[in-house]
Copies of this chain bind each other. A is one copy, B any other.
Amino acid sequence: MSEALIQIGVVGCADIARKVSRAINLSPNATICAVASRSYDKASTFAAANGYPLTAKIYGNYEALLEDPDVDAVYMPLPTSLHLRWAVLAAQNKKHLLLEKPVALNVAEFDEIMLACESNGVQFMDNTMWVHNPRTAAMAQVFNDKHRFGQLKSNDIRVKPDLDAHGSLGDAGWYCIRAILLAFNYELPKTVIASRQPVLNKDGVILDCGASLYWEDGRVATFHCSFLANLTMDITAIGTKGTLHVHDFIIPYEEKEASFYVGTESSFDDLVTCWAKQPVKCTIKTDLPQEALLVTEFARLVGEIKFRKSKPEKKWAIISRKTQLVLDAVKASIHRGFQPVEIEE
């Protein structure tokens, strides 16, 4: 690196921050310069347990970190309900923002956060890690390959991630919707209909739900996400000419490589007793885990702004917002008794 490392402050010591702290340490263009918790002791213990540089500053409150002029950017793993307050304050302090998903409780809050980022010229990125795995780019190539995949007809996702700090649809649903948008080249669906029989806990938090998304030209995507079943991360995407299968799309089975399967112009033998051609396994290797690739990309964009006076890259905010719009529509459909909800940008 000819330029200095991007200095990242970690705001909050949630469990997921352990993984992301390791990712920052692994990234060639970023380093951890500070950590904040509501208690100094907790922040100090967390820093020691997670291999923080000895130079990293320890803060017993979030404000102090956000006011530290040495901090270029913050990673914020706070609960979603706290994002509006702290993300806006971070942006106002000119801190570039790597924010845990789901970004906001709804798209109105999302837009407030984004307004703060834009008016302060800071880079925004949500912490959807799997998007940065090189496998995802290879999958997107398949989706866009007219000869190998044709036009997407149907996309189906079944997910059951571990119950994380969010404890709600926002976690699993966020990934499902993002993966659907990826396959549809980020074109928003027209209509969203939630599946019946979602499971809510006594506080109204969604533990299990699903939805079908409809595009005007007849394409459809269905997802189901649950905290109540075995860990599952399946995508079956069917095009006019090809089919893509993946079983570990959010977190790959292994850190250093990730696979998917593609069948193209699949057909049977003459007597229809077996397949003439089986799907092919495609394996993509990576030196850095996907979360470190995310940090590297985030730090690269921050570096462009810091050292070359570039403008923030809006792509990530645009994709996040579309994800939030669909998430809001799923919730609205559940609350309206599974009626269709139209998406309006």
Could you list which residues of chain A lie within 8 angstroms of chain B, going by C-beta atoms? Answer: 16, 18-19, 22, 149-150, 153-154, 156, 158, 160, 162, 191, 193, 195-197, 199, 208, 210, 212, 214, 218, 220, 222, 224, 226, 228-232, 234, 236, 238-243, 245, 247-248, 251-255, 261, 263-268, 271-275, 278-279, 289, 291, 340
Question: Closest CB-CB distance, A120 to chain B, in whole Å?
Answer: 32
A253 to B158, CA, bound (A): 23
Cross-interface CB contact of A245 among B199, B234, B267, cutoff 8 Å: B234
Contacts A230-B239, A238-B226, A265-B230 hold; do A273 and B251 have CB atoms under 8 A apart?
yes
Chain B residues with CB below 8 A from A271, complex form: 18-19, 22
Cross-interface CB contact of A224 among B22, B222, B261, cutoff 8 Å: B222
Q: Is the CB of A229 within 8 A of B240?
A: yes
A191 to B236, CA, bound (A): 25
Contacts A158-B236, A162-B272, A236-B232 hold; do A278 and B291 have CB atoms under 8 A apart?
no
Q: Is the CB of A228 within 8 A of B240?
A: yes
A289 to B272, CA, bound (A): 11
Q: Is the CB of B238 within 8 A of A154?
A: no
Question: Closest CB-CB distance, A195 to chain B, in whole Å?
Answer: 6
Question: Closest CB-CB distance, A105 to chain B, in whole Å?
Answer: 24
Chain B residues with CB below 8 A from A252, complex form: 274-275
A191 — nearest CB in chain B belongs to which residue? B196
Q: Give the number of copies in the complex.
A: 2
Chain B residues with CB below 8 A from A154, complex form: 158, 210, 224, 226, 229
Q: Is the CB of A236 within 8 A of B238?
A: no
Q: Is the CB of B275 within 8 A of A248?
A: yes
Chain B residues with CB below 8 A from A268, complex form: 162, 231, 251
Question: Closest CB-CB distance, A246 to chain B, in whole Å?
Answer: 11
Q: Is the CB of A230 within 8 A of B241?
A: yes
Q: Is the CB of B274 within 8 A of A253?
A: yes
Chain B residues with CB below 8 A from A210, complex form: 154, 220, 222
Chain B residues with CB below 8 A from A162, complex form: 267-268, 272
Given A18-B271, A154-B210, A231-B243, 17 additional A-B pairs, CB 8 A: A150-B230, A154-B158, A154-B226, A156-B158, A162-B268, A195-B220, A197-B218, A197-B220, A210-B222, A229-B243, A232-B238, A232-B243, A234-B245, A251-B274, A253-B275, A255-B273, A273-B291
Chain B residues with CB below 8 A from A251, complex form: 268, 272-275
A275 — nearest CB in chain B belongs to which residue? B253
Q: Is the CB of A239 within 8 A of B229?
A: yes
Chain B residues with CB below 8 A from A196, complex form: 191, 193, 212, 214, 220, 340
Chain B residues with CB below 8 A from A16, complex form: 272
Chain B residues with CB below 8 A from A199, complex form: 218
